[in-house]
Amino acid sequence: MNIDDLLQRIFGTSDLGTLTPAALEAGIERLQVDLGLASDRDQRFALWSLLYTLGSAPDLDVAFPDPADRDAARNLMDLIAASGGE
């Protein structure tokens, strides 16, 4: 999943800094719906990761039924925290 394509599809732009708060909120809602409908593990992880970076990700046990996917998400969270991103 290409992040620029995903951002363009969901938000209409790949530059989130140009969005109004209402447009950002609407895009986050679309992402949450897409996550709920996604059955592909890789796609779910990509959607969850973007939601996480936007501060709107669901809890790991809700997003990922597979423990390995939850562990991967925790690793991503740790990497972001270690980089000073959160």
pLDDT tens by residue, 7-55: 999 999 999 999 999 999 999 999 999 999 999 999 999 999 999 999 9
Cβ atoms within 10 Å, residue 59 = 8
Q: Which tokens go with 28?
A: 């986050």
Q: Range of 9's domain?
A: 3-82
> pTM of the prediction?
0.89
CB atoms within 10 A of CB 65: 10
- Number of domains making up the chain: 1
